[in-house]
């Protein structure tokens, strides 16, 4: 089980400062979609240059031109690139093919997929690396969580690693760990806390403790 810190609502220097605090307690750092929209892949490169030993995920949320977009993100330094599960299979296949050439991985984000069970089965057959259930900010604001969707994909996904994102906090980490996803993605639950290092360290500890049980 790995921990990914998602950085969304900050600029590049602020993002680097946050990672300096929690570097020892995370496995992956995500350059969120708002940063990429604002700053481009320059942000991915800046993060990789600052922390060469951390895996960087580019949250591109690709919907078309899968191969081309994955090439650009990977060449900027992304180890993992996101594609939307709501897109067509051809885009996902193109993304997977290019990721193999570039030595990167594909995470399919199931945000706003209506039939999670059916689409997860289909995506599971396309050779992607992660299938991620995700409640976006706008649905989090009206009380939606990704936890039941995580159970759904854990039951049907056979070949692919699983991931979960969307409003996860220290208080909800035990419930998430119980479902045993391969990757837990936490944004504001770390980045918006006063003592980011302490929170990241505690999440990492709970994940390690669960792995040794
Ligand atoms: O992809 C995202 C928003 O679209 C976020 O990175 C993801 O939801 C994790 O952040 P948080 O834990 O703050 O919800």
- What was the pLDDT predicted at 135? 98
23 Cα–ligand 1 center, Å = 18
Tell how far CA 89 is from the center of its chain.
20
Residue 213 has pLDDT above 90, yes or no: no
Q: Which atom of ligand 1 is nearest to the CA of 192?
A: 13
The average pLDDT across 156-174 equals 98
Position 112 scores a pLDDT of 97
Whole-number pLDDT of residue 69 = 98
CB contact set of 10 (below 8 Å; sequence gap of 6+): 18, 35, 191
Please report, rounded to a whole number, the percentage of residues in the chain having pLDDT higher than 70.
100
189 within ligand 1 shell (Cβ under 6 A)? yes
Check residue 32 and report its DSSP letter.
-
Residue 14 contacts residue 195 (beta carbons within 8 Å): no
Can you tell me the mean pLDDT for 82-104? 98
Tell me: the pLDDT tens digits for 36-54? Answer: 999 999 999 999 999 999 9
ipTM tops the 0.85 cut:
yes
Say if CB 62 and CB 87 are below 8 A apart.
Answer: yes
**Six-digit token string for 30:** 């995500």
CATH number of 2-212, picked from 3.30.365.10, 3.20.20.70, 3.30.870.10, 2.60.40.1930: 3.20.20.70
Sorting pLDDT into bands at 50, 70 and 90, what band is 111? very high
186/190 Cα distance (integer angstroms):
7
pLDDT for the residue 212: 82
Whether pLDDT at 204 is above 90 = yes
Spatial contact of 135 and 122, defined as CB atoms under 8 Å apart = no
**Is any ligand 1 atom within 6 A of the Cβ of residue 186?**
yes
Total-model pTM: 0.97
> What is the DSSP track for 162-173?
EEEESS--GGGH
In sequence order, which ranges of 23-115 are alpha helices (DSSP H)?
33-39, 42-50, 66-75, 89-102
Cβ atoms within 10 Å, residue 143: 8
* Interval between CA 49 and ligand 1 midpoint (Å): 23
Residue the block writes with tokens 């199931």: 110
The reply to whether ligand 1 has any atom less than 6 angstroms from the CB of 146 is: no
Given a contact cutoff of 8 angstroms between Cβ atoms, the answer to whether 195 and 15 are in contact is: no
* Per-chain mean pLDDT for the chain: 97
Note the pLDDT tens digit of each residue in 141-152.
999 999 999 999
Atom 10 of ligand 1 has which residue's CA nearest to it?
187
pLDDT at 191: 97
d(CA 172, ligand 1 centre) in Å: 15
Tell whether the model's pLDDT for residue 120 goes beyond 90: yes
Tokens 């800046």 label which residue? Answer: 46
Give the integer Cα–Cα distance in Å for 6 and 191.
8
Rounded Cα gap, residues 8 and 130, in angstroms: 20
Query: What are the φ and ψ backbone dihedral angles of 6, each rounded to 5 degrees?
Result: -95, 125
Handedness of CA 52, 95, 156, 134 (dihedral sign): positive
Q: How far is CA 17 from CA 23, 68, 73, in A?
A: 10, 31, 22
CA diameter of the chain: 43
- The predicted model gives 170-197 an average pLDDT of 98
């Amino acid at each position: 089980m790995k921990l990914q810190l998602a950085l969304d609502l900050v600029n590049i220097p602020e993002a680097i400062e946050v990672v300096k605090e929690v570097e020892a307690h995370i496995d992956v750092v995500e350059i969120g979609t708002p940063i990429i929209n604002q700053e481009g892949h320059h942000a991915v490169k800046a993060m990789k240059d600052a922390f060469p030993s951390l895996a960087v995920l580019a949250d591109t949320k690709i919907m078309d031109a899968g191969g081309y977009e994955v090439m650009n993100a990977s060449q900027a330094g992304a180890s993992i690139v996101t594609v939307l599960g709501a897109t067509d299979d051809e885009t996902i296949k193109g993304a997977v093919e290019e990721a193999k050439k570039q030595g990167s991985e594909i995470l399919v984000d199931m945000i706003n997929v209506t039939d999670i069970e059916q689409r997860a089965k289909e995506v599971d057959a396309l050779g992607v690396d992660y299938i991620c259930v995700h409640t976006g900010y706008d649905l989090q604001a009206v009380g939606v969580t990704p936890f039941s969707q995580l159970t759904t994909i854990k039951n049907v996904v056979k070949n692919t690693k699983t991931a979960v994102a969307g409003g996860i906090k220290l208080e909800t980490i035990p419930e998430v760990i119980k479902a045993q996803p391969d990757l837990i993605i936490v944004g504001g639950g770390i980045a918006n806390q006063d003592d980011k290092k302490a929170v990241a360290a505690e999440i990492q500890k709970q994940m390690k403790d669960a792995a040794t049980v």
